[in-house]
Structure 1
Amino acid sequence: MGMHPYFTRAEFEARLVRLKARLRAAGVEAALFDEIEAMTWVSGFGSSANRWRCVVIPLEAEPFFLIRALDASVCRQRSWIEDVPTYRDWEYPMPVFAAAMRARGLDRATIGLDFESYGTSIARFAALQTALPEARFVDIGPVVAELRLIKSAAEIELLRRAAAIADEALRRAAAACIPGGHQRDAARIAQFTFVEMGADPYRPGPITAGRGWDFLHGHLGDEPLAPGDVVHIELTPRIYGYSARVMRCVVLGEPEPERQHAAELLAELQDQQIAAMRPGAVAGDVDAILREGILREGLRDSYDNITGYTLGLYGDAGPRTSDFTRILHPGATWRLEPGMVFHVYASAGGAALSESVLVTETGPELLTHLPRGLLVNR
């Protein structure tokens, strides 16, 4: 059995108990997972989709991890799953998959899939049906994404560490934002800090400079920084995929009164929003505190984006940069629960703020701890 660097066997056993309860309720005999986040959470390992790979969890029989032969040894090192059938890069994986299912008596089973999985194209779904013509494939939805909403103590510890790295990396990156400097300096320093402090060597997050009022998700530019520029920094460090996030604006020189005013109002409204993030709170009500406050104050004419989304495990080769399993928006009727972690973010009037927030039994806990407002390099 493989050893995971951060989670014990007991951690994965607890996840498996929760997962199998959901599968029983869905009336399936086995489930197939081929999104990297789902595979990693269930098994301890995930890899890119250069070649198809999947984890199959039967209710009764032994699980298996189908993967290309090149990746099998690292899979065995990291995963608790012992059976790892493989195929060579140029071979078609479906016969190997079908043989593994037949060996477990699952070739006529009801098999659960997430029909919105980005790992299953229309052609691949057709190939699954051809490989197991007597099986029945049913949609179980984003079961793992929903189970991942409630974090274990070990997951929360990783997110705390990632949040501390986010704080320090942003502090160092902001200090590099000086006239004549470059946005790339901030990106380089942030990424160096990630690696130095034990995070994954992954891209730092959106870093954009501009003079306008709406450049939240722009692109890294090459122009030298000048007095009057504002550098928007959102850092997204990960530790074994577990990401905390923080966002601030760095002003080069004296901030305009309007921008300073906007930043102060944003901080005040977001503080009220975070304070409301308690167990049982309705998501739409939490969203409204910030959204309606910003519109009421005239900081924005419309607010077309969400104000927060779930944090946790991100696959290093997945197509999603954010986890929208639960989002804060006007129509959200779901309730916050202890163990949920969110990235709450606000932008208006040329200012932006965000924090990573854990919902505990007694209320919200900020995981990130930078000063709440504009960062000014005079």
Structure 2
Amino acid sequence: MFAGAEYQRRTALARAAMDAASVDLLLIDSGELLAWATGYTVSETMYRAAFLPREGEAWFTLRALDEAPCREKSWISDVVGFKDTEDAVAAVAASIVAHGFARARIGLDTRSYSMNADTFMRLTAMLPEAHVVPMPGLSDSLRWVKSEAEIAVLRQASKIADKAMLAIAQQTKPGMTTRDAAAIASGIFLREGADTGEVGPVVKASGSHEFLHGVFKTEAIGEGDIVHVELIPRVGNYGARMMRPVMVGTPSAELSVTAAALVALQDRQIAAMKPGALARDVDAIMRQGALDAGLRPDYENVTAYTLGLYTRTPRTSDFSRVFLPTSDWALQEGIVFHVYTTAEGLGFSETVVVERDGGKRLTKAARSILGAISDS
């Protein structure tokens, strides 16, 4: 999907982190970092890992059944396959020994969901002469800042989200169900080049913000209902996200005022997303602003989190960087966030990249309560 120069850039970043930690070999096993570093990723049906030496050629160790797709998708030519009858962790350890790193300083991400306690203990027992160096969080931090090539893919995904959101707003009408609305988006995802037809929550909104993680089910849509639509198209595993409220009929004056207030606060927040800005200060624009305006009685959830590459993992959102009052880290140019807010049954969110002069929205759909077709 990406040119060779992009993978060279990524390899250089990984090796710089290795230099800082004084490690000889980097073990890569999280699904996202595998895709980012090698161009190929695969599920954890059986343990697998790629290896990047500080000097020398990288290699990949995985099921023999996955060798062919790995060779097709990855820039790595040294692919070691093991039989399903073999012990996967033992095969990975054996490949380390075979490549001459039995006594090396081996860096690995102890927060990787693939590196569970059993795998860690077995690997260290099988490599008694190696020195394991914990590099917690590396699988996420290496990927925070996006290249222009990555942002271009996120822009493609954002356009798909825009098109699908507009179609839902235009086609939803009384008598349809939330499943019907989700199917509209799913069809557009597939026709426009998204990886899958999976959409986010499409549920009837109620309360203040409790609907955000509502369970998807078949709900009839009637006059006056607000449908909360969150779209999460992925292109080449890079996912954009956007939320909008879609209402059948005309919103009340009170709802329209609330929507305008939320959007105005979020616009201020996005404008403040400049390199060097503290995340907690950017967070406060939305959080404190919504509380001061009486839009919510409390505000305990994050107001943004990192976006980028998603694979088949136990997590559906990347919270390695979030906006909270305790977020004492500075923004960097090129990081992409899902910026979101909710109140009074309304949810608005955008895919936003940090640029030199502030945040830039990659999603472009109208920022208002979108109107569905009414029978009246």
TM-score interval for Structure 1 and Structure 2 normalised by the shorter chain: over 0.9
After alignment, is 18-27 or 356-365 more displaced? 356-365
In the alignment, what sits opposite 2:131? 136
User: Aligned in 2, Cα 1:21/1:210: closer, same or farther, shift over 3 Å?
Assistant: closer
Report if the CA contact (8 A) 2:206-2:344 is conserved. no
Matches within 5 A, 1:294-373: 294-315=290-311, 317-373=312-368
What is the aligned partner in structure 2 of residue 155 from structure 1? 150
SS, match of residue 95 in structure 1: helix
Q: Where does residue 215 of structure 1 map in the other structure?
A: 211
CA contact (8 A) 1:62 1:104 kept: no
Q: Does 1:61 align with 2:25?
A: no
Structural RMSD (CA): 1.3
- Between stretches 247-256 and 29-38, larger displacement belongs to 247-256
TM normalised by structure 1 equals 0.95
How far the C-alpha of 1:108 sits from its partner, in A, is 1.0
**Identical amino acids, percent of aligned pairs:** 44
State yes or no: 1:251 paired with 2:244. Answer: no
More off after superposition, 335-344 vs 87-96: 87-96
Structure-2 residue corresponding to 1:49? 44
1:3 alignment partner in structure 2: none
What is the aligned partner in structure 2 of residue 181 from structure 1?
176
The aligned length equals 372
Per-residue Cα deviation, 1:44-99 (whole angstroms, up to 9, x for no partner): 01011111111111112321111111111001100011111111223202332233
Q: Retained in 2: the 8 A contact 1:36–1:47?
A: yes
Number of the residue aligned with 1:81: 76
Structure 1 stretch displaced more, 39-48 or 143-152: 143-152
Unaligned runs of 5+ in 2: none
Note the alpha carbon deviations across 1:181-224, whole angstroms, 9 max, x for none: 01111111111111111111141111111444431111222132
Q: Distance in 1 between matches of 2:225 and 2:90?
A: 58
Q: Which residue of 2 aligns with 1:264?
A: 260
- The letter for the 2-side match of 1:121 is N
Aligned equivalents of 1:167, 1:67: Cα separation in 2: 38
- Please name the residue that 1:11 is paired with: 6
SS in 1 for 2:179: helix
Report the equivalent of 1:226: 222
Which 5+ residue runs of structure 1 have no aligned equivalent? 1-5
Contact kept, 8 Å, 2:232 with 2:242, in 1: the verdict is: yes
Distance (Å, rounded) in 1 between the aligned partners of 2:53 and 2:289: 49
Q: Deviations over 1:214-245 (max 9, x none)?
A: 31111222132111211100001000110111
CA 1:167 to 1:37, structure 2 compared with 1: closer, same or farther past 3 Å?
A: same
Structure-1 separation of matches of 2:101 and 2:227? 55
Q: How many angstroms apart in 1 are the aligned matches of 2:300 and 2:211? A: 15
Matches within 5 A, 1:17-56: 17-56=12-51
- Taking the aligned partners of 2:113 and 2:275, their CA distance within structure 1 comes to 32
Q: For the structure 1 residues 211 and 177, does the alpha-carbon distance in structure 2 shift closer, same or farther, using more than 3 Å as the test?
A: farther
Q: Letter of the aligned partner of 1:205 in structure 2?
A: G
Q: Secondary structure at the match of 1:85?
A: strand
Q: Give the one of 115, 119, 130 matched to 2:114.
A: 119
**CA deviation string 1:301-333 (max 9, x = no partner):** 111100001111111x11111111211111112
Query: In the TM superposition, what are the counterparts of 1:158-173 in structure 2 within 5 Å?
Result: 158-173=153-168
Q: What residue is the counterpart of 1:242 in the other structure?
A: 238
Q: 1:369 deviation in Å?
A: 0.8
Q: Is the 8 A contact 2:90 2:123 kept in 1?
A: no
The answer on whether the counterparts of 1:262 and 1:350 sit within 8 Å (CA) in structure 2 is no
Give the whole-Å Cα distance in 1 for the aligned partners of 2:142 and 2:86: 34
Task: Please give the alpha-carbon distance, in whole angstroms, between the structure 2 residues aligned to 1:51 and 1:361.
Answer: 43
Separation in 1, partners of 2:144, 2:89:
32
Quick one: which amino acid aligns to residue 342 of structure 1?
Answer: F
Residues of 2 paired with 1:259 and 1:219: CA distance? 24
Q: How far off its partner does 1:349 sit?
A: 1.6
CA distance in 2 between counterparts of 1:346 and 1:47 reads 34
Q: Which amino acid aligns with 1:101?
A: I
Superposed CA offset, 1:244-280 (max 9, x none): 1110011112223332221111011111111111121
Where in structure 1 do 4 or more consecutive aligned residues deviate above 4 Å? Answer: none
SS in 1 for 2:101: coil
Residues in 1 aligned to 2:4 and 2:66: alpha-carbon distance in whole angstroms: 21
| Cα distance between partner residues in 1 of 2:186 and 2:85 | 36
Q: Tell me if the contact between 1:308 and 1:344 (Cα under 8 Å) persists in the aligned partners.
A: yes
Native 8 Å contact 2:306 2:318 kept in 1? yes
Measured after TM superposition, the shift of residue 124 of structure 1 is 1.0
Q: Which moved more, 1:263-272 or 1:222-231?
A: 222-231
SS at match of 1:216: helix
